[in-house]
Amino acid sequence: MCATRATSRGPLRVGILGQGRSGLSIHARWFEQSPRKYKIVAIADLLAERRQRAEKEFGCDSYRSIDDLLGRDDLDLVVNSLPSYLHPPATIAALSAGHNVVCEKPAAWNVAQLDKMIAAARKAKRILAPFQQSRYRALFRKTLDVIDSGVLGRIVQVRISANGFARRWDWQTVQEYKGGNLLNTGPHFVDWAVCLQGFKKPDEILCAMDRANTWGDAEDYVKVVLKKKGAPVIDLEISSCDAYPGDMITVQGTQGGLSGGGSGLRWRYFDPKKAPKQKLSRKPLPGPSYCSEKLAFTEKSWAPSKAQANAFGWMSKQFYDHLYKSLREGAKLEITPQQVRVQMAVMEECHRQSKLSKLPAKGWPQGNR
Ligand SMILES: NC(=O)c1ccc[n+]([C@@H]2O[C@H](COP(=O)([O-])OP(=O)(O)OC[C@H]3O[C@@H](n4cnc5c(N)ncnc54)[C@H](O)[C@@H]3O)[C@@H](O)[C@H]2O)c1
């Protein structure tokens, strides 16, 4: 589905919707570092000072209305980094106008919305690339490598914890704008979860949500357990009231385990062939005593390179280098909307199980257009 309009020479010409923490600080800043592949030619934002800054810094055109940006016919790519509640409508508008689109997370908030976006991409024969850059996070890639090597045996459980202690009062705390820890931080880690379960919808989903330290009406505590036959149990937390957060990822396997986070991973495992031979005893153990033996564990560790330690820069590079190949050479997307559909199904079910009361809707402060 990827007949693109990418111009054949020079960097890809990009329009960015939104110039906030994502549109400016992640996407524009990355394009600045990749001038041979990408060039910012237009941005849209409701705020005049953000438009003026972009014009000055990037030498690009700026628009108040996203429709005016989408009306251009010289763009190879549009990045949708608008507030989350605008992801489906603005992405569909961009695809329908004939643009390839990178859509920030959360791509949508339910499967039906995402399906409309996928259908719009198919109809327009354009690329829809969900920005799930954490799939490229070095610690996650290394974890997958260790799991795939088999040394940990069968993986029984993976615990993912994106916890901290933080108070928050911006739009990301408001349900009306599709805020809350699940839709905001969740896409990074639910993506890991469904990746670890082979991108298949879990058989069972259990979710608890709460509001702890937030000014808005959306959750800032989420606990999710995913069960899938033949895959590890996933135990996922995204809590803003954890004063003693543990490791970001912990893998439990039949022959060993792994644990760690952004600054590094460690893992240890034993070789069952070299372990002491034991056999089941139904009689009380002599003494009395407990089962006791010495397993010879092999210990390993990994630390990110300097480039990988700059997680946002590293992940953006992997994502956009690959997207460049898709847009220029027709390479298949590595992160597909179909994979993200499973994430959407999980989130939809979590919200169904844990409805929180809502504040009255007020619209976006600067208007929708
Ligand atoms: N992938 C990541 O790691 C990551 C990190 C941060 C944010 N995000 C995502 O990026 C999106 C934007 O979040 P943010 O933190 O940048 O928000 P932000 O509030 O910092 O920026 C949003 C910008 O959009 C502009 N805007 C709002 N409505 C508009 C409209 N109708 N037309 C034009 N401009 C409009 C605002 O004026 C603002 O400048 C969210 O969906 C968020 O989940 C992703």
Residue 108 beta carbon below 6 angstroms from any ligand 1 atom: no
d(CA 322, CA 174): 33
Residue 82 beta carbon below 6 angstroms from any ligand 1 atom: yes
CA distances from 270 to 29, 152, 216, 230 (A): 45, 8, 48, 22
pLDDT at residue number 2: 37
CA distances from 287 to 278, 283, 290, 291 (A): 18, 12, 9, 11
Q: Tell me how many domains the chain contains.
A: 2
Give residue 195's Cα distance to chain centre. Answer: 11
276 domain-assigned = yes
33 domain-assigned = yes
124 domain-assigned = yes
For the CA of 312, the closest atom of ligand 1 is 3
93: domain CATH number?
3.40.50.720
164 and 179 assigned to the same domain: yes
For the CA of 24, the closest atom of ligand 1 is 16
Residue 23 beta carbon below 6 angstroms from any ligand 1 atom: yes
195 and 66 assigned to the same domain: no
Residue 187 beta carbon below 6 angstroms from any ligand 1 atom: no
150: domain CATH number?
3.30.360.10
HSE-CB at 219 with a 13 A cutoff on CA atoms is 24
Directed axis angle between helix 186-196 and helix 138-149, to 10°?
A: 10
For the CA of 64, the closest atom of ligand 1 is 33
19 and 83 assigned to the same domain: yes
Rg for the chain, CA atoms, rounded: 23
245 and 289 assigned to the same domain: yes
For the CA of 50, the closest atom of ligand 1 is 39
Residue 178 beta carbon below 6 angstroms from any ligand 1 atom: no
26 domain-assigned = yes
47 and 177 assigned to the same domain: no
235 and 181 assigned to the same domain: yes
Of the three residues 108, 131, 154, the one that is the final residue of a domain is 131
110 domain-assigned = yes
d(CA 224, CA 233): 10
Ligand 1: residue whose CA is nearest its atom 15: 21
- Output the CA 24–ligand 1 centroid distance in Å: 9
Supply 127's token pair.
């690329």
365 domain-assigned = no
150 and 68 assigned to the same domain: no
Q: Domain residues for 209?
A: 135-312+345-353
171 and 286 assigned to the same domain: yes
Of the three residues 131, 159, 194, the one that is the final residue of a domain is 131
67 domain-assigned = yes
Low-confidence ranges of the chain (pLDDT < 70): 1-8, 369
152 and 92 assigned to the same domain: no
- Output the CA 126–ligand 1 centroid distance in Å: 23
162 and 247 assigned to the same domain: yes
pLDDT at residue number 3: 44
79 domain-assigned = yes
144 and 270 assigned to the same domain: yes
- Asked whether the beta carbons of 120 and 89 are under 8 A apart, the reply is no
227 and 296 assigned to the same domain: yes
